[in-house]
Amino acid sequence: MASLEDIGVSALINIISAFAFLLAFALLRIQPINDRVYFPKWYINGARASPRHRGNNNFVGKFVNLNFSTYFSFLNWMPQALKMKENEIIEHAGLDSAVFLRIYILGLKIFGPITIAALLLLVPVNVSGGTLFFLSKELVVSDIDKLSISNVQPKSLKFFAHISMMYAFTFWICYMLYKEYDTVSSMRLNFMASKRRRAEQFTVLARNVPHGSSHSVSDNVDKFFNKNHPGHYLCHQVVYNANKFGRLVRRRHRLQNWLDYNQLKYERNPEKRPTLKTGFLGLWGKKVDSIEYYTQQIKEFDLRLTMERQKVLKDPKCIMPAAFVSFNSRWGAAVCAQTQQSKNPTLWLTNWAPEPRDVYWKNLAIPFVSLSIRKLVISLLVFALVFFYMIPIAFVQSLANLEGLERVAPFLRPVIELEFIKSFLQGFLPGLALKIFLYILPSVLMVMSKIEGHVAFSVLERRTAAKYYYFMLVNVFLGSIVTGTAIEQLHSFLHQSPTEIPRTIGVSIPMKATFFITYIMIDGWAGIAAEILRLKPLVIYHLKNMFIVKTERDREKAMDPGSVDFPETIPSLQLYFLMGIVYAVVTPILLPFILVFFAFAYFVYRHQIINVYNQQYESAAAFWPHVHSRIIASLLISQLLLLGLLSTKKAANSTPLLVALPILTLTFQKYCKSRFEPAFREYPLEEAIEKDTQDKASEPEINLKAFLADAYLHPIFRSFEEVELTEVKVEKSPDPVPSQPETEPVSPTHSHSPSPSHHSHEHEQEQEHEHEETTTVQHYEVGPPANVYQYGYAYHENIFHYNVNSYQETQHDAQHDYIVESPHSYYHY
Amino acid sequence: MASLEDIGVSALINIISAFAFLLAFALLRIQPINDRVYFPKWYINGARASPRHRGNNNFVGKFVNLNFSTYFSFLNWMPQALKMKENEIIEHAGLDSAVFLRIYILGLKIFGPITIAALLLLVPVNVSGGTLFFLSKELVVSDIDKLSISNVQPKSLKFFAHISMMYAFTFWICYMLYKEYDTVSSMRLNFMASKRRRAEQFTVLARNVPHGSSHSVSDNVDKFFNKNHPGHYLCHQVVYNANKFGRLVRRRHRLQNWLDYNQLKYERNPEKRPTLKTGFLGLWGKKVDSIEYYTQQIKEFDLRLTMERQKVLKDPKCIMPAAFVSFNSRWGAAVCAQTQQSKNPTLWLTNWAPEPRDVYWKNLAIPFVSLSIRKLVISLLVFALVFFYMIPIAFVQSLANLEGLERVAPFLRPVIELEFIKSFLQGFLPGLALKIFLYILPSVLMVMSKIEGHVAFSVLERRTAAKYYYFMLVNVFLGSIVTGTAIEQLHSFLHQSPTEIPRTIGVSIPMKATFFITYIMIDGWAGIAAEILRLKPLVIYHLKNMFIVKTERDREKAMDPGSVDFPETIPSLQLYFLMGIVYAVVTPILLPFILVFFAFAYFVYRHQIINVYNQQYESAAAFWPHVHSRIIASLLISQLLLLGLLSTKKAANSTPLLVALPILTLTFQKYCKSRFEPAFREYPLEEAIEKDTQDKASEPEINLKAFLADAYLHPIFRSFEEVELTEVKVEKSPDPVPSQPETEPVSPTHSHSPSPSHHSHEHEQEQEHEHEETTTVQHYEVGPPANVYQYGYAYHENIFHYNVNSYQETQHDAQHDYIVESPHSYYHY
């Protein structure tokens, strides 16, 4: 057990490393050459086209900051980060980011008063107890323990102080949570009300469309919704299975990268044309000219792509039993999304369509029966992963020891036998498997969530966050408190009585306070400081800059703004809440460390959100109910553990007082759920009709059908052959003749145009879990949106690089394109 | 432990008593004087107006059956009960009753093959084992145990037979359940589709209407729905708080009964006018003429009622924040019922309105916050009741012993000291409290459900059934297996490990088989035979006949057809399923007893449903999902218990095979829930629009507004002053001029008529948990429904007796009234 000095040393080390990161960040961020790494958001939204620091217009000044005065204001990003107001952040980065920041503020609001109260009231109570002073000869007692509940004698009446503080803390936390839920839900409603007309407000995703024997899916959809939503149904877009097409696009894109690389090489060294061997891995085979080879290959691929595309459009087998169904009013869509359509409740499942950029196409085709089986399998797998993940790792570790290595590679023996290498490897190898596992864990969980069959990236991220939280709760929190692996814990929990479990854990809690303090400093302080440095994107950007980037546009592509990594940040935030709430009564000295974490992380993430991150979708804070309910879960856990702890302290007269607390907390949670959660699940009709009325008043002549026609058209397809598109667009361009879709009869042929531009494509980019460089290109409309009727709002689409050229040519006058490369945007593998 | 002979003796006793009941029933049912007790359903639906057996037209023949040949066909009700086909039963008694009978058939279908398989395959396996033959000297072993799993040696490979049978049984039960759920859900949809136009198809119950500061509730409703459901909203009816009015009506009704009684007394004995004393309990005070006194009193009450009624209608405080909102199409109502209306999700809660006769008015006004608190409190109370009910009973028992009695009433001492009285009392008194408790338990649970705040009798009955099931599961099933009271069990369960609990119970299971066989014979065989005898209604009917009945109409009122007592019968049915499933593998010899129960109960309830019961509401088999999920729960319990049992048998190699079974069962349950349950919760739009189209085609000129205007008007109010009603009805009578509500503009003044007949009253009849004789009068429309536009279908209303007179006078030409007295119709106190 660590003493106060040990903690001090650890704190010193972590503070120094945190400052080192901050210093490195301060130095790197003011170099113009890194401007696109540390301020990509400003490039993306068009506020900046080239580095700001251009005082010295010489050659060196373009890459290195020569204005030395800026080197001294090394923390000046902090006040800068605070300048922006919340509504500006919502405008600038979306509601998701703004509400994400609010979680840190909530942490400060919750733990600030709790820290003061606990330090002022509980610590004196604990210190004056003094069991440990008597026992100190037998036990190894730390100074921290003198401040904790361990120091109070069994059967002491002082436990009433702890119990009443637990009550006070619970009420305070519930009050803050209630206020915050209220605020966030009204922010969400306001945000949705303030949004411009968007396709997803009018669109519902219908899944499990039955296959009529004679009719096509599209006819079925038209017939069904014309019949059951007469006067509201407008049009629909069917979903195509374009997995193979997506794979081809990806391979063509890789060829394009190689071509760019070789062309750049040739430009820099014009004497020697680059060559390559066509055989396996370029190791043997015929030697050919690289540039010609790749140009030829790309030409062939374009042909194959065209053919594949024709096949997808023609083949009825490629049509998935799902469709995006659009209505002529928000009211109609809200009604369809919230009601049961068919007599068979497994057919015609309707739900709000995700944002176009949020759709995860691949999962749209999963049938109903398969969904429940998938959910079962995945929940079993998650359970196994949480409790048995050590088994395969131990197996790999047993293989990866030195003897195994020597047997596999006998020629390495002389090297391995060296003493210092041997000891290094022996310390290093067993941990390697675990490190790799923990590194790839979020990706594995994301794959699991994808297999579960969710159709939006936002939902996938939330589900992944949930799984990650379970893993952290069992393996980080409980695993640190109760010694032994998770599987041993599971075994002992199954064979212990239910009342014994909180006791076993509760007893160990005060003893582990120092461990968690160290954890907070490493993960929370130094880890967050490392986050702001963005080492990985920095390196990757400069590598790309060196090898691929030819034009300014390529440089835009090479930027990787990233986004708030919800699947990892939210569970770890919840872990901090859990630690804070559990230790608030037990070892209050832990609380200041948590406070520092919340404050510091708030600064860092505020800076990143303003300057760096570029969210891939906007879910309007849909993750909030999960954050809320997990904080409530933390409360319940802390109450149960305190109950267990006190029951071992023989505080029989006071312990029963705690029993009411979990019941009250659960009731509070139930109330909050019914009071606020509908705002996150449904779209109230009152709101829908209000917006509809406003719209009708402000733009009575809008052609909604044209606006919605290609909203859910896959961007790959949209930009593939612009010629075909423009043909279609003639009919969709803003019509001077007022045409009200509400009154005109909806004809099936009208709503489902036979032109291929009405079909959506699936691209398989996210399906293959390789670490390849799939360059996604993002479009931002800047300035007055000339073709607002086609795009509706400045959303950003994943368009593959090679399509941009043709797209650019035809659309160059209409819109301004920023092209950004973001290989790790949604996920991390 | 009972031997086979003991079981035989018990079986003999129970079979004899069951036959005695059947014999008594056979004799009593053919007496003309009992005709209204044993065939009330035929009187109610108008097929019979007087007893059939009128071969002898003399005076005696009216009361006693003199046709002796009918005495010999003593079981001839059985084939009669089977004659009616299922669709005829649906027509005759409703879908609830028909599906209720299907549960028994399901029991036969499930347990028939299981019994054969278990007896043919498992019993030989068990008998050949023969552990018990070796151990018989040490243990008291019954013959039953030789046939059970106890007889198999530990570690035997024979357990594979039991495990594979468990798998086979589980799959068989799931298959049958799936088929049954499919059938029942399509029966429900067909039933709802075949129903004539009914008010509840167009009506939604809106609760938590916000109180506008200046506007009335009614104006608020009009404004809100006109705005948010334009083109669909038709009209609404506000709900009045008429609790006090209801109490007055009830007291007036009691006076009327006394008046009737005294008038009858005077008629039979015209020499002496009946008198009474006006003081406390008629024990002292001034002596007055009874008939004059009651006539005077009733006159005064009528005045007070009129005033109270005026007050209710005038006072805005009596208007509850709830309204029945009607739409001009089923589609509009389905949309409103399934969507969220307001931005604040606790306001404007919309749900399908229950049938008018199913509404529980009192709970309509409960605010949202209160609802969740009520649910919490009641669930805590139910938990306490299930686990701690023995505490107050033990307390009462300790008071009610002989010493206590002597102390309270010393004058009884000489009597109590007599030896045989003393021993009788000592055996009797302690059990009395328990008997009384178990007798009133369903009523207590019903009160709890009412406090929970459900707004329909059907929901109240389902919630009561759920509570009763928990009670039976813990106290009858687990309580019989594990010795000790429920509170002791709870304590040991809390302090045992989760894996220990199924072991503890599992081990005791085979030993308790004889107990459950006896239970089945007493409760299932003799109890069901007692059900058909209807002893209590028989006695009450004849008492009323003697003292109150004057006219033929009074006799109709004195009939008490009762109804299927869902809160009690469904939980006990589920208990039989549980016993059957648990013992199918363990002690198969129990299965034939269960089969006999299902077959016999099927006959009895079929007879009762055809001839006796008169359902108070029609929920279209809404209870089915509960039945289904509790059979699934029984499966899970049986699997866990078998797991526990086998783990004590050291069958380590075979036991893990069972672990997959609960997971598969849970997945099946989840699938069924999503596949079928929406049919029981929502109304698909496809169905709604189909019916709307049919309606428009068949009756294009219907005035829907008139049809809906007083559908949810409380019957008390409707019949109170028929004069006012007729004024209103002028405008509602079928209009020869075609008026289509879908197209005409809905004006607020039109939809909410200022006439008081548009308001609904609450009557408080069910709130007081006294056993008093609140005579509810039921109206049945027979023959061509002349005013179908006002009533829609032959529903029956609770109208208080004294209102019928005026009602009769004005409505006599329009409809035929059957008036039936049913004090215990919905509930049992």
CA-based nearest distance B168→chain A, Å = 21
Would you place residue B237 in the very low, low, confident or very high pLDDT band (cuts 50, 70, 90)?
A: confident
Among all chains, which residue has been given the structure tokens 């003897």?
A403
Q: Is residue A3 over pLDDT 90?
A: no
Q: Is residue B273 over pLDDT 60?
A: yes
Chain A residue at shortest CA distance from B369:
A671
Among all chains, which residue has been given the structure tokens 């800026």?
A70
Which of B349, B338, B201, B620 has the alpha carbon at shortest distance from A341? B338
Both structure tokens of B26: 């056979």
B405 vs A711: CA distance, rounded Å: 85
CA-based nearest distance A497→chain B, Å = 3
Q: Is residue B39 over pLDDT 70?
A: yes
In sequence order, which ranges of B154-197 are alpha helices (DSSP H)?
A: 159-194
Does B182 reach chain A within 8 Å, measured CB to CB?
Answer: no
Does B190 reach chain A within 8 Å, measured CB to CB?
Answer: no
- The share of chain A scoring above pLDDT 90, in percent, equals 13
* Nearest CB to B342 within list A663, A677, A686: A686
Chain A residue at shortest CA distance from B371:
A671
Q: What is the pLDDT of residue B426?
A: 64
CA-based nearest distance A346→chain B, Å = 6
Which of A458, A450, A443 has the alpha carbon at shortest distance from A364? A450
Would you place residue A431 in the very low, low, confident or very high pLDDT band (cuts 50, 70, 90)?
A: low
Distance separating the N- and C-terminal Cα atoms of chain A: 38
Interface touch B340/A496, C-beta < 8 Å: no
Q: What is the pLDDT of residue A718?
A: 57
Would you place residue A732 in the very low, low, confident or very high pLDDT band (cuts 50, 70, 90)?
A: very low
Which of B761, B759, B762 has the alpha carbon at shortest distance from B218? B759
Q: What is the pLDDT of residue B349?
A: 85
Looking at chain B from residue 659 to 698, which residues have their Cβ under 8 Å from any Cβ of chain A?
663, 667, 670-671, 674-679, 682-687, 689
Is A778 in contact with A44 (CB distance < 8 Å)?
A: yes
- CA Rg value for chain A: 30
Mean pLDDT across A546-572: 78
Interface touch A339/B676, C-beta < 8 Å: no
Does B342 reach chain A within 8 Å, measured CB to CB?
Answer: yes
* Nearest CB to A682 within list B340, B372, B495: B340
Q: Is A826 helix (H, G, I), strand (E, B) or coil?
A: coil
* Nearest CB to A340 within list B496, B498, B684: B684
Would you place residue B694 in the very low, low, confident or very high pLDDT band (cuts 50, 70, 90)?
A: confident
Is B350 in contact with B206 (CB distance < 8 Å)?
A: yes
Residues 6+ apart with CB under 8 A from A319: A216, A217, A218, A238, A239, A240, A241
Beta bridge partners of B323: B206, B238
A-B CB pairs within 8 A amount to 131
Kindly list the residues from chain A whose CB atom is less than 8 angstroms away from the CB atom of residue B348: 686
* Nearest CB to B338 within list A340, A348, A679: A340
Beta bridge partners of A351: A205
B564 vs B96: CA distance, rounded Å: 9
Q: Is residue B692 over pLDDT 80?
A: yes
Is B387 in contact with B487 (CB distance < 8 Å)?
A: yes
Would you place residue B52 in the very low, low, confident or very high pLDDT band (cuts 50, 70, 90)?
A: low
Chain A residue at shortest CA distance from B681:
A340
Which of A21, A99, A98 has the alpha carbon at shortest distance from A531? A21
Would you place residue A631 in the very low, low, confident or very high pLDDT band (cuts 50, 70, 90)?
A: very high
Q: Is A450 helix (H, G, I), strand (E, B) or coil?
A: helix
Q: What is the pLDDT of residue A634?
A: 93
- The share of chain B scoring above pLDDT 70, in percent, equals 71
B395 vs B406: CA distance, rounded Å: 17
Interface touch B345/A671, C-beta < 8 Å: no
Most confident of A80-94, A257-271, A356-370: A80-94
Q: What is the pLDDT of residue B208?
A: 83
A332 vs A685: CA distance, rounded Å: 9
Give the Cα-Cα-Cα angle B825, B828, B829 (nearest 5 degrees).
115
Model-level pTM?
A: 0.76
Q: Is residue B468 over pLDDT 70?
A: yes
A70 vs A285: CA distance, rounded Å: 55
Distance separating the N- and C-terminal Cα atoms of chain B: 39
Q: What is the pLDDT of residue A624?
A: 93
Q: What is the pLDDT of residue B484?
A: 58
DSSP state of A758: G
Would you place residue B152 in the very low, low, confident or very high pLDDT band (cuts 50, 70, 90)?
A: confident
Mutation for A interface: B192, B220, B331, B339, most A CBs within 10 A: B339
Which tops the pLDDT comparison, B114 or A192? B114
Does B334 reach chain A within 8 Å, measured CB to CB?
Answer: yes
CA distances, A730 to each of A789, A810, B596 (Å): 12, 14, 77
CA distances, A265 to each of A271, A295, A548, A557, A773 (Å): 10, 15, 9, 19, 19
Does A372 reach chain B within 8 Å, measured CB to CB?
Answer: yes
Would you place residue B700 in the very low, low, confident or very high pLDDT band (cuts 50, 70, 90)?
A: confident
Interface touch B685/A334, C-beta < 8 Å: no
* Nearest CB to A667 within list B342, B372, B498: B372
Interface touch A340/B683, C-beta < 8 Å: yes
Q: Is residue B12 over pLDDT 50?
A: yes
* Nearest CB to A685 within list B339, B498, B682: B339
Q: Is residue A644 over pLDDT 80?
A: yes
Mean pLDDT across A763-787: 35
Kindly list the residues from chain B whose CB atom is less than 8 angstroms away from the CB atom of residue A335: 335, 339
Which tops the pLDDT comparison, B414 or A767? B414
Would you place residue B243 in the very low, low, confident or very high pLDDT band (cuts 50, 70, 90)?
A: confident
Q: What residue segments make up the domains of chain A, in order of their start?
A: 4-196+367-686, 199-354
Interface touch A228/B686, C-beta < 8 Å: yes
Does B226 reach chain A within 8 Å, measured CB to CB?
Answer: no
Interface touch A663/B335, C-beta < 8 Å: no
B60 vs B51: CA distance, rounded Å: 13
Chain segment B644-664, per-residue pLDDT in tens: 888 877 766 666 778 889 989
Interface touch A345/B684, C-beta < 8 Å: yes
Both structure tokens of A354: 């995700």
Interface touch B343/A671, C-beta < 8 Å: no
Kindly list the residues from chain B whose CB atom is less than 8 angstroms away from the CB atom of residue A682: 339-340, 345
CA-based nearest distance B690→chain A, Å = 9
Beta bridge partners of B303: none
Most confident of A448-457, A711-720, B43-52: A448-457
Looking at chain B from residue 455 to 474, which residues have their Cβ under 8 Å from any Cβ of chain A?
none
Please give the ipTM for the structure prediction.
0.73
Does B285 reach chain A within 8 Å, measured CB to CB?
Answer: no
Interface touch B499/A494, C-beta < 8 Å: yes
Is B288 in contact with B275 (CB distance < 8 Å)?
A: yes
Interface touch A500/B498, C-beta < 8 Å: no
Q: Is residue A777 over pLDDT 50?
A: no
Q: Is residue A174 over pLDDT 90?
A: yes
Q: What is the pLDDT of residue A279?
A: 64
Q: Is residue B805 over pLDDT 60?
A: no
Does B228 reach chain A within 8 Å, measured CB to CB?
Answer: yes
Q: Is residue A753 over pLDDT 60?
A: no
Mean residue pLDDT of chain B comes to: 74
Mean pLDDT across B223-242: 85
Chain A residue at shortest CA distance from B193:
A343
Mean pLDDT across A779-783: 34
Q: What is the pLDDT of residue A743?
A: 36
Mean residue pLDDT of chain A comes to: 74
Q: What is the pLDDT of residue A731?
A: 37
Mutation for A interface: B680, B685, B692, most A CBs within 10 A: B685
Is B690 in contact with B190 (CB distance < 8 Å)?
A: no
Q: Is residue A645 over pLDDT 60?
A: yes
* Nearest CB to B343 within list A494, A497, A687: A687
Using a 10 angstrom Cβ sphere, with 0-12 exposed, 13-18 middle and 19 or more buried, the burial of residue B66 is middle
Would you place residue A140 in the very low, low, confident or very high pLDDT band (cuts 50, 70, 90)?
A: very low
Interface touch B495/A500, C-beta < 8 Å: yes
Q: Is residue A471 over pLDDT 80?
A: yes
Does A383 reach chain B within 8 Å, measured CB to CB?
Answer: no
Most confident of A566-570, B169-173, B328-332: B169-173
Kindly list the residues from chain B whose CB atom is less than 8 angstroms away from the CB atom of residue A500: 495, 497
Question: Poorest-confidence range of A118-127, B173-182, B208-217, B740-749?
Answer: B740-749
CA-based nearest distance A660→chain B, Å = 11
Q: Is residue A500 over pLDDT 80?
A: no
Would you place residue A730 in the very low, low, confident or very high pLDDT band (cuts 50, 70, 90)?
A: very low
B352 vs A583: CA distance, rounded Å: 48
Interface touch B677/A338, C-beta < 8 Å: no
Interface touch A499/B498, C-beta < 8 Å: no
Kindly list the residues from chain A whose CB atom is less than 8 angstroms away from the CB atom of residue B349: none
Kindly list the residues from chain A whose CB atom is less than 8 angstroms away from the CB atom of residue B372: 667, 670-671, 674
Interface touch B339/A341, C-beta < 8 Å: no
Question: Poorest-confidence range of A622-636, B18-32, B46-60, B559-573?
Answer: B46-60
Query: Is the CA virtual torsion B426, B430, B435, B436 positive or negative?
Result: positive
Would you place residue B210 in the very low, low, confident or very high pLDDT band (cuts 50, 70, 90)?
A: confident
Would you place residue B4 in the very low, low, confident or very high pLDDT band (cuts 50, 70, 90)?
A: low
Kindly list the residues from chain B whose CB atom is less than 8 angstroms away from the CB atom of residue A373: 667
Question: Poorest-confidence range of A645-654, A776-785, B76-85, B433-442?
Answer: A776-785
Q: Is residue A513 over pLDDT 80?
A: yes
Which of B808, B777, B802, B770 has the alpha carbon at shortest distance from B254? B802
Does B401 reach chain A within 8 Å, measured CB to CB?
Answer: no
Using a 10 angstrom Cβ sphere, with 0-12 exposed, 13-18 middle and 19 or more buried, the burial of residue B458 is buried
Q: Is residue A223 over pLDDT 60?
A: yes
